[in-house]
Structure 1
Amino acid sequence: MTGTAVKVGNGGGGDGASSVTEGKLGLPDGWAIATIGELCDVNPRGFDEEPNDDDLISQVPMASVEAETGRMDPSALVRYGDFKKKSLTRFQESDVLFAKITPCMENGKIVQAKELTGGRGLGSTEFHVLRSRGGLLPEYLTHYLLQRSVRKAAEPHMSGAVGQRRVPRLYLEGLQIPVPPLAEQRRIVARLDEQLAHVETGESSLKRAANKLTELINQIRSREVRTSPDKELPPGWRWGTVGDVLQRIEAGKSFTCLPRSAHEDEWGIIKVSAMTWGEFRAEENKAVPEGREVNPDFEICSGDILLSRANTVEYVGAPVLVGPVRGKLLLSDKSLRLVPKDRVSREWLLEVLSSRYVRDQYSDAATGTSDSMRNISQGVVKSARIPVPGSYDEQQRIASVIRDRIAQVGVLRDALDSQAAEVINLRTALLHAAFTGTLVAQDPTDEPASALLDRIRAQRSAATGTKSARRRTPRTSKSTGDPGQGELPL
């Protein structure tokens, strides 16, 4: 199923004419390869038409965009005049929003803007905005970017400190995408919407079941660690704080790392995602540049209790117990190591920190202006109120009971995880078929994508020429009306 394809440009600048090459790229006849920068305005300056100050428009913070589903909630409204001077991202109906910051990018917070009040919206500064020039359907582009493989490929190109890494605009502009004829894009989107609706029905059922299991686990923890403030504690117990049972808290440091994971023989700093999923993920790290001095006191060891100091609101303060781990992994400035006092059970402390009661205290106390990241201080960690058993043996017994009961629930969770993996594989297969030309039939009467791209290049070239001509036109003096008088330097 091969054919002649057109490869257009390598970024957002220029008209791309000098970079057109043809060759057998394994694409169906009529398809082309182009960059997003060729096909879209990336982060356009604003709206095509500025709203009036009294106009109501949609407000879409990061939390209003669902992960991996391509859905958003545009129901929150603001008066434009109250917000137009704030540093918010402007977008309009049919623009594609791409979360650029970790972990939102990796989680798949990518969506086409729809049903915006007044056709316009304000959102997080952590969104890239992609506005199609007509060669790509926004729905097609959204489905393409939602592929896990696309997001995975973007990770090594993220820049910035650990925990605040972002996909650069230039990377997104240079990202290549297969472009079918416009008519075929419509057929692909229609078929994807039809098939993915069935997939999402299954995903919803699995999510409801998983939520019930999570609630059951929360109830098991709550009952055993006695986190109901309205109930009397057993004899020998007392109310205290997390700080009462800690010897110390250790915070890591961070600096610019290499855009890849550390090899076995080199130092690495863990990312926020290493502590996000209820288990420690050692592979979620960034390599420390060779020759950079590190403090071995921050090395992570098996048995450590780590807590996420900065994360999304759902995961800030989430604890993990480090299992067997290779050496040379360091705490970051977004992670805390909690060292319990002697005769305080690590396993019990982990269950207490994992309880909904403590997690809610941390979430409620989290601060931060970014809607993609919240922070808690060491003081907040220490001040969380907890019930403390009277003896180490009682703590160990509680942890053992919780562990055994959660293990029984884990059998059901494993079955759900297996089904969820099958659903993910089905979604991946559908998207792969869509973007390799096997999901729908090709129609030889469709206008080839190369012709469409030629028109886009011609339009951009003409627009660029018009702007250049305007810049070269001498300005007219207000006092004399003579051309050339009072001309400003360019």
Structure 2
Amino acid sequence: MEKSDLTKMERWEVSRKQGKKFSKSKKFKESQPLTEEQLEKLPNLPKDWKWVFHSEIAIINPPKPNGDESLEISFLPMPAVEEETGRYSLSETRKLGEVRKGYTGFIEGDVIFAKITPCMENGKVAYLEKLVNGIGFGSTEFHVSRPTSSVFGKYLFHYLVRQTFRKEAKRNMTGSAGQLRVPSSYFAEQPFPLAPLPEQRAIVSKIEQLFSELDNGIANLKLAQKQLKVYRQAVLKKAFEGELTKKWREQQTDLPYVGGLLEQIKKEREEAATDSGKKLKKIKSLTKDELTKLTKLPDEWKWVKLDEICNKITDGEHVTPKRTESGYLLLSARNIQNGYLDLKSVDYVPKHEYLRIRNRCNPEEGDILISCSGSVGRICSVPKNSEFVMVRSVALVKISSKLKLNRFFEYQLQSPLLQSQIEKGKKATAQANLFLGPISNLKVIICSLPEQRAIVQEIETRFSVCDKIEQDIEMNLEKAEALRQSILKKAFEGKLLNEKELAEVRGTENWEPAEVLLERIKAEKAKNRKK
């Protein structure tokens, strides 16, 4: 990339990196003011604003607050802080003596900033208010910024939570993979656009007003997403109760008997056992007592055990495979989503491991996959041209070739009828698990092949409408996030307030330009150092 192609902020980062590497240490010297050369590489600000270092307007990672050992204080572990919203839970409290060592301390008015991956990238940042007794302690993976009295904490929060700030911070992380952190020195030495204090407050007020309107729209979009999920489940429920094809059945005169289909499947399983030299596994059919406890089906349908209509039910590799940087895909439960494989985060194994694992568990096009550890019960089928193996947290279901339409069973396994069985069949230890026994014993519905095709068509006709609506919702959510970042960009360029709003803040008694404000900040910090 040519220098002329870079934005001013990017040129600032390039020049800064060329001259300095950031230390992992929490200790750093207080920054000197920005030089003329550095200022030239930063975007222009309004007349009465000023670029300063973060550490010039705030104390970075200040000493822990003191108090009586028995004092009750707020406790904020990392999960208590939401991503990007700035919201956090104050439901936990501790005694000060319990957390003084081994945790990060902060007080009301501080801004906390997650420094470790992936929490930093996800935007775990918050401006702290309403702490119990004004004090809080929390994760050691927070940086703390304590703004001086001439900087509005919420103004600082909105600057730090921006995507552009976090993206640049990610490029400057240090440490090993999985333990990457934003160094204290980097956090302290970032340029900060200091505005007059009344203008800071007016900007925050305008941001919050615009964000409130934006959040209402986002909430409505997310509600629509939830309603679509409910609708999909309602469609699947009606489909496998026979409601969607009721009229279709009434119009049929020569539907094949489902018992004949089951005989074909049984014969196929017997032939496969003979060819392999293995003894055919005996499967007990459902008893009358078991059938009476199940949902009543149309006369042409039948309840069977999943095992009765499958050629194989197994799971992935139990022994931890040797992983490599590249090679063949190794999937786990996190990759199984309802209706599709999510390949955003995958592991790899070498060819010899791939061949070894596939010898027992060989996923092929159309086979059904079930997440069976952690988030149990997500269902998808194996797509075309897929080469992968799996770990134990994924189950593989090979439906008999006589049934031909695996989508019928993929949808059925996603339906409330089967999901309730899966929920009952899972075992909770350290995390939920669904083992092969309960999977094999799942009670599934079988009907004639023509009706299976009709049911799938009815489902997919309705789901195609849902898919289009969901695409529109996702697009609008992306637009909303882009608008949020655009608002923040304008805010810190001094372009968010209109002329009338600017005239009002400049007319307040305590308005003073950033240059004067900075001198006040320096005097305040010097006074605090003498104490």
Distance 1:270 1:450 in 2: 56
Task: Note the 1:142-161 alignment, pairs <5 A.
Answer: 142-153=157-168, 157=173
Whether 1:208 and 2:223 are equivalent positions in the alignment is yes
Whether 1:296 and 2:324 are equivalent positions in the alignment is no
- 1:427 equivalent in structure 2: 484
Cα deviation for residue 148 of structure 1 reads: 3.6
SS across alignment from 1:32 = strand
Cα deviation for residue 430 of structure 1 reads: 0.7
- 1:26 equivalent in structure 2: 43
User: What amino acid is the match of 1:190?
Assistant: S
Sort the Cα spacing of 1:377 and 1:251 in 2 relative to 1 into closer, same or farther, 3 A.
farther
- 1:471 equivalent in structure 2: none
Per-residue CA deviations over 1:61-96 (Å, capped at 9, x if unaligned) read 55554443222332x244537964997665443343
User: What amino acid is the match of 1:347?
Assistant: R
User: What amino acid is the match of 2:43?
Assistant: G
Whether 1:140 and 2:197 are equivalent positions in the alignment is no
Whether 1:448 and 2:515 are equivalent positions in the alignment is yes
- 1:13 equivalent in structure 2: 27
Task: Note the 1:187-226 alignment, pairs <5 A.
Answer: 187-225=202-240
Distance 1:303 1:424 in 2: 37
Q: Is the 8 A contact 1:362 1:376 kept in 2?
A: no
Cα deviation for residue 382 of structure 1 reads: 5.7
Distance 2:204 2:519 in 1: 18
Sort the Cα spacing of 1:85 and 1:38 in 2 relative to 1 into closer, same or farther, 3 A.
closer
Q: Is the 8 A contact 1:316 1:363 kept in 2?
A: no
User: What amino acid is the match of 1:168?
Assistant: R
Q: Is the 8 A contact 1:247 1:341 kept in 2?
A: yes
Whether 1:119 and 2:179 are equivalent positions in the alignment is no
Cα deviation for residue 34 of structure 1 reads: 3.2
Sort the Cα spacing of 1:77 and 1:27 in 2 relative to 1 into closer, same or farther, 3 A.
same
Task: Note the 1:282-293 alignment, pairs <5 A.
Answer: 282-284=343-345
Distance 1:169 1:285 in 2: 25
Task: Note the 1:333-344 alignment, pairs <5 A.
Answer: 336-343=393-400
Distance 1:301 1:21 in 2: 63
- 2:444 equivalent in structure 1: 388
Cα deviation for residue 407 of structure 1 reads: 1.8
Whether 1:173 and 2:187 are equivalent positions in the alignment is yes
User: What amino acid is the match of 1:413?
Assistant: E
User: What amino acid is the match of 1:451?
Assistant: L
SS across alignment from 1:139 = helix
Cα deviation for residue 204 of structure 1 reads: 1.8
Sort the Cα spacing of 1:17 and 1:145 in 2 relative to 1 into closer, same or farther, 3 A.
closer
User: What amino acid is the match of 1:32?
Assistant: W
User: What amino acid is the match of 1:27?
Assistant: N
SS across alignment from 2:126 = strand
Cα deviation for residue 339 of structure 1 reads: 1.7
Say which structure is richer in helix.
Answer: 2
Bigger mean CA offset, 17-26 vs 378-387: 378-387
Distance 2:189 2:330 in 1: 28
Task: Note the 1:322-337 alignment, pairs <5 A.
Answer: 323=383, 336-337=393-394
- For structure 1, the residue ranges without an aligned partner over 5 or more in a row are 369-374, 467-490
- 1:70 equivalent in structure 2: 86
SS across alignment from 2:315 = strand
Cα deviation for residue 142 of structure 1 reads: 3.0
Sort the Cα spacing of 1:128 and 1:412 in 2 relative to 1 into closer, same or farther, 3 A.
same
Cα deviation for residue 340 of structure 1 reads: 0.9
Task: Tell me the number of residue pairs that the alignment of Structure 1 and Structure 2 aligns.
Answer: 432
User: What amino acid is the match of 2:354?
Assistant: P
- 1:361 equivalent in structure 2: 423
- 2:313 equivalent in structure 1: 247
- 1:236 equivalent in structure 2: 302
SS across alignment from 1:111 = strand
Sort the Cα spacing of 1:439 and 1:320 in 2 relative to 1 into closer, same or farther, 3 A.
farther
Whether 1:49 and 2:66 are equivalent positions in the alignment is yes
Sort the Cα spacing of 1:256 and 1:195 in 2 relative to 1 into closer, same or farther, 3 A.
farther
Q: Is the 8 A contact 2:323 2:347 kept in 1?
A: no
Sort the Cα spacing of 1:257 and 1:402 in 2 relative to 1 into closer, same or farther, 3 A.
same
Per-residue CA deviations over 1:342-363 (Å, capped at 9, x if unaligned) read 4286535544554567499399
SS across alignment from 2:492 = helix
**TM-score, with normalisation over the residues of structure 2?**
0.61
- For structure 2, the residue ranges without an aligned partner over 5 or more in a row are 1-6, 242-291
Alignment RMSD: 5.4
Per-residue CA deviations over 1:243-264 (Å, capped at 9, x if unaligned) read x996222259688988xxx8xx
**TM-score, with normalisation over the residues of structure 1?**
0.65
Cα deviation for residue 278 of structure 1 reads: 6.8
- 1:484 equivalent in structure 2: none
Cα deviation for residue 199 of structure 1 reads: 0.9
Sort the Cα spacing of 1:425 and 1:342 in 2 relative to 1 into closer, same or farther, 3 A.
same
Distance 1:159 1:319 in 2: 37
Whether 1:414 and 2:414 are equivalent positions in the alignment is no
User: What amino acid is the match of 1:113?
Assistant: L
User: What amino acid is the match of 2:217?
Assistant: G
